[in-house]
């Protein structure tokens, strides 16, 4: 989606946003008939690539997007692809049922084998056209994201560009390593609007990330409408509820449903998080009865963590938790509901277990698979509970024991995947409690062998969380997420055997002009030989 970008910046960030001002220079058009990015210049790296330099295809004003006859979902993928190719090419790109001989771009549902699964695809480029075949529309969507990256960077511009729209000849066979490839956005510390979230979703889709975890509530703010507890958002979503009293806002149920459907159109599942029993000051300050002493504490917008807790011994706590879980579950078609569980520092171990032993079954009661930060395994919840590992250690007995009991794990080690950590000491935004994370740090680790006792089979996937204590605008989000988000995307999708920093940094360099073409800000890491 195209948007005008708000330019709200932290004082300290003003200089760097100016320095980042977007260049309008686009790469010169390649010679006619010559692809200017090789078939391998894709992030995440495809599983298999076979180049055929004699078989390039060039988009023409007459190119059709042909989709599987009778499949509305394939047609919808075709429409989205055509929508993304029209502005820069200026070609009409009609989307039509794929009858007759293949030419142009074809998106076909076909049996491409169990090995390619639900999201895999084959993409073949010949002088007559590009054909993507997949078992499901999700695979066609993944293949069409690859195709976008095979075209010159100018394809990402929203105005007509002069370029030879050449796709390099050959074929790609591709499928993901992990089912769950996620990103998290914290809209509690600073609220981010539905349009900003959609813009982030667009970025995720390009890199084949298929889950967006929304951190909806925290000490500072409550950012999702709950009808049975209506004051949560009038107080916790009001003005001045962002960190340091900056900003505010919340998602109405309608906003949330619209985001779910926007994400679903891009084969992304929303994972909602209501953090509990800690990180709840906004709820506690709104409803006095949720406090053990019946007294509402003042609202807080500082960055401290670990000071708040729902009252474990009061029955109303569980009525509240059930109402919230029920409403969120009803709004959410995806399988997961995240109940946080991190940093409950003022809750004793005994109380924490008591709480989680009641909260986790409520998630299941409303048909969702429980999800929590890794502390949740201390309560020995049902082994269906997904544990999100956010530690910095590579030895962690608690999580290893949980795997032994049968839990699946999402890998989000804070010193590798936390997009809110500074790149280095000069980064004007972000935090540094888990260290600095340069691009190579984000890339050079193996989710399936990172923590002793948490092997490949126990890993459901990876996720890159973006906490927003210091992030107030889409510019800030993009600057912290790009390029590291793409490193985590590659770890989640590409086969372990393809892992190669020299190759990754070269491919990453090609993304720079693409971000420039679409007016997305990014950090020009000195580790990457950025293309001009």
Shortest distance (Å) from residue 468 CB to ligand TNX: 8
User: Residue 307, interface with ligand TNX (CB under 6 A)?
Assistant: no
User: Residue 373, interface with ligand TNX (CB under 6 A)?
Assistant: yes
Q: Are 528 and 439 in contact (CB under 8 A)?
A: yes
Q: Residue 43 or 480: which CB sits closer to ligand TNX?
A: 480
Cα–Cα–Cα angle for 223, 225, 229, rounded to 5 degrees: 110
Choose, by CB under 6 A, the member of 431, 440, 499, 530 that binds ligand TNX. 431
Q: Are 228 and 274 in contact (CB under 8 A)?
A: no
Q: Residue 305 or 509: which CB sits closer to ligand TNX?
A: 305
Pick the closest to residue 472 from 259, 197, 191 (CA basis): 191
User: Residue 342, interface with ligand TNX (CB under 6 A)?
Assistant: yes
User: Residue 196, interface with ligand TNX (CB under 6 A)?
Assistant: no
Q: Are 399 and 392 in contact (CB under 8 A)?
A: no
Choose, by CB under 6 A, the member of 420, 475, 478, 510 that binds ligand TNX. 420
Shortest distance (Å) from residue 275 CB to ligand TNX: 8
Shortest distance (Å) from residue 373 CB to ligand TNX: 4
User: Residue 352, interface with ligand TNX (CB under 6 A)?
Assistant: no
Q: Which residues contact 391 (CB under 8 A, 6 or more apart)?
A: 374, 399, 413, 414, 451
Q: Are 91 and 160 in contact (CB under 8 A)?
A: no
Taking phi first (over 0 means left), then psi (-120 to 50 degrees means alpha), and beta for anything else, what does residue 33 get?
left
Q: Residue 284 or 528: which CB sits closer to ligand TNX?
A: 284
Shortest distance (Å) from residue 372 CB to ligand TNX: 9
**Could you tell me the two tokens for 490?**
């590659």
User: Residue 389, interface with ligand TNX (CB under 6 A)?
Assistant: no
Shortest distance (Å) from residue 414 CB to ligand TNX: 6
Question: Count of residues for the chain?
Answer: 532
**Could you tell me the two tokens for 134?**
């997949």
User: Residue 244, interface with ligand TNX (CB under 6 A)?
Assistant: no
Shortest distance (Å) from residue 299 CB to ligand TNX: 17
Alpha-carbon separation of residue 150 from 124, 147, 171 (angstroms): 12, 5, 12
Shortest distance (Å) from residue 14 CB to ligand TNX: 23
| Strands of 48-51's sheet in order across | 48-51, 170-174, 121-126, 129-134, 104-109, 65-67, 95-97
- Residue listed under structure tokens 């997305």: 520
User: Residue 390, interface with ligand TNX (CB under 6 A)?
Assistant: yes
Q: What would the x/- binding string for ligand TNX be over residues 469 to 498, using CB under 6 A?
A: x-----------------------------
Choose, by CB under 6 A, the member of 305, 331, 400, 509 that binds ligand TNX. 305
User: Residue 296, interface with ligand TNX (CB under 6 A)?
Assistant: no
User: Residue 467, interface with ligand TNX (CB under 6 A)?
Assistant: yes
User: Residue 423, interface with ligand TNX (CB under 6 A)?
Assistant: no
Q: Quick check: helix, strand or coil at residue 288?
A: helix
* Count of residues in contact with ligand TNX, rule CB under 6 A: 10
Q: How far apart are CA 88 and CA 412, in angstroms?
A: 36
Shortest distance (Å) from residue 271 CB to ligand TNX: 14
- Report DSSP letters for 435-474, one per residue: ----HHHHHSS-TTSSSTT--GGGEEEEEEEE--TT--SH
Choose, by CB under 6 A, the member of 180, 229, 418, 443 that binds ligand TNX. 418
Q: Residue 445 or 467: which CB sits closer to ligand TNX?
A: 467
For the annotated catalytic residues, the residue numbers are 343
Helix residue ranges, H only, 169-310: 194-206, 231-236, 253-265, 281-286
Beta bridge partners of 134: 109
**Could you tell me the two tokens for 92?**
């009409």
Q: Residue 467 or 523: which CB sits closer to ligand TNX?
A: 467
Would you tell me which residues interact with ligand TNX (CB under 6 A)?
Answer: 305, 342-343, 373, 390, 418, 420, 431, 467, 469
């Amino acid at each position: 989606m195209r948007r005008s970008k708000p330019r709200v910046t932290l004082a300290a960030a003003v200089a760097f946003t100016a320095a980042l001002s977007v260049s309008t220079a686009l790469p010169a058009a390649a010679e006619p008939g010559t692809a200017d990015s090789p078939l391998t210049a894709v992030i995440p790296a495809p599983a298999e690539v076979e180049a055929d330099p004699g078989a390039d295809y060039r988009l023409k004003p007459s190119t059709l997007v042909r989709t599987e006859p009778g499949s509305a979902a394939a047609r919808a993928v075709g429409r989205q692809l055509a929508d993304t190719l029209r502005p820069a090419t200026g070609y009409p790109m009609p989307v039509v049922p794929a009858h007759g001989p293949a030419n142009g771009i074809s998106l076909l549902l076909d049996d491409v084998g169990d090995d390619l699964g639900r999201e895999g695809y084959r993409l073949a480029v010949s002088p007559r056209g590009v054909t993507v075949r997949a078992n499901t529309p999700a695979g066609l969507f993944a293949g069409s994201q690859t195709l976008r990256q095979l075209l010159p960077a100018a394809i990402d511009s929203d105005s007509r560009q002069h370029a030879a729209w050449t796709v390099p000849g050959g074929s790609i066979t591709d499928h993901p390593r992990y089912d769950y490839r996620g990103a998290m956005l914290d809209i509690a510390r600073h609220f981010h609007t539905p349009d900003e979230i959609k813009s982030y979703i667009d970025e995720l889709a390009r890199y084949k990330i298929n889950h967006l975890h929304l951190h909806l509530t925290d000490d500072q703010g409550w950012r999702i409408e709950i009808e049975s507890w209506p004051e949560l958002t009038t107080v916790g979503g009001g003005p001045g509820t962002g960190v340091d009293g900056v900003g505010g806002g919340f998602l109405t149920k309608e906003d949330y449903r619209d985001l779910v459907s926007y994400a679903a159109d891009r084969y992304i599942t929303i994972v909602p998080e209501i953090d509990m029993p800690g990180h709840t000051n906004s709820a506690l300050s709104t409803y006095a009865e949720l406090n053990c002493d019946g007294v509402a504490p003042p609202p807080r917008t500082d960055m401290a963590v670990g000071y708040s807790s729902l009252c474990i011994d009061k029955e109303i706590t569980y009525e509240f938790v059930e109402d919230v879980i029920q409403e969120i579950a009803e709004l959410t078609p995806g399988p997961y509901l995240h109940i946080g569980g991190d940093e409950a520092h003022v809750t004793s171990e005994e109380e924490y277990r008591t709480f989680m032993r009641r909260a986790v079954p409520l998630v299941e009661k409303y048909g969702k698979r429980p999800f929590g930060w890794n502390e949740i395994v201390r309560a020995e919840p049902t082994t269906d509970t997904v544990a999100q590992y956010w530690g910095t250690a590579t030895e962690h007995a608690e999580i290893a024991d949980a795997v032994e009991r049968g839990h699946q794990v999402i890998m989000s080690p804070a010193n590798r995947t936390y997009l809110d950590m500074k790149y280095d000491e000069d980064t004007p935004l972000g935090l540094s409690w888990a260290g600095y994370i340069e691009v190579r740090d984000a890339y050079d680790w193996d989710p399936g062998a990172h923590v002793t006792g948490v092997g490949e089979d126990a890993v459901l996937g990876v996720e890159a969380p973006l906490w927003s204590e210091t992030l107030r605008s889409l510019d800030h989000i993009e600057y912290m997420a790009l390029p590291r988000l793409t490193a985590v995307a590659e770890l989640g999708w590409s086969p372990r055997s393809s892992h190669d920093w020299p190759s990754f940094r070269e491919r990453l360099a090609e993304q720079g002009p693409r971000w420039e073409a679409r007016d997305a800000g990014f950090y020009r890491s000195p580790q990457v030989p950025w293309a001009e």
